[in-house]
Amino acid sequence: MALNVYLAGEIHSDWRADVIAGCADLDITFTAPVTDHEASDDCGVTIMGAETSNFWHDHKSAKLNAIRTRLAISNADIVVVRFGEKYKQWNAAFDAGQAAALGKSLIVMHQGEHQHALKEIDAAALAVVTSAEQVAQILRYTLTGNVPH
């Protein structure tokens, strides 16, 4: 048994590295969106030419990023979505919706302050956690049946 796990959501902390480090000995392939904020915002116009309006500037990049994210979500067995403390993070919720509709196992990671606002997404998840360590423990349990001591 091997796992393909997509790590969606917040890109301003090291949580992805923490999850991956916690699973270093397990047969898991991790994927993620492009986490270089500038590249993610400007890839479209850089490759396909400048736009005069913000809307089309963003549109071109968002579609390029969709090539990667749609593929990663559709190939994933498990989608982990982390909601950070800041920003609207609607793309995180959008990824969670895609994952739910495709029948992926969904793990949601957020702090308690967002609990009420995230209740619909939590209700679609198979696990709701607050830390990268818990995500790693769940992935380990899924693959090996071992629980932490």
* 47 belongs to the binding site for a copy of itself (CB under 8 A): yes
Residue with tokens 């067995």: 77
Tell me the closest approach of the beta carbon of residue 12 to a copy of itself, in angstroms: 14
- Per-residue interface string for the shown chain with a copy of itself, residues 48-77, x marking contact by CB under 8 A: x---x-xxx-xxxxxxxxxxxxxxx----x
Q: Which residues in the 87-116 window bind a copy of itself by CB under 8 A?
A: 87-103, 105, 114-116
List of residues 6+ apart from 67 with CB closer than 8 A: none
Closer Cβ to a copy of itself, 13 or 107, answer by number: 107
How far apart (Å, rounded) are the C-alpha atoms in residues 136 and 71? 23
* 84 belongs to the binding site for a copy of itself (CB under 8 A): no
- CA 17 centroid distance within chain: 13
* 14 belongs to the binding site for a copy of itself (CB under 8 A): no
Closer Cβ to a copy of itself, 21 or 37, answer by number: 37
* 12 belongs to the binding site for a copy of itself (CB under 8 A): no
**Structure-block tokens of residue 13:** 């902390």
Tell me the closest approach of the beta carbon of residue 97 to a copy of itself, in angstroms: 2
SS3 77: coil
* 147 belongs to the binding site for a copy of itself (CB under 8 A): yes
DSSP 42-93: HHHHHHH---SSHHHHHHHHHHHHHHHHHHHHHH-SEEEEE--SSS--HHHH
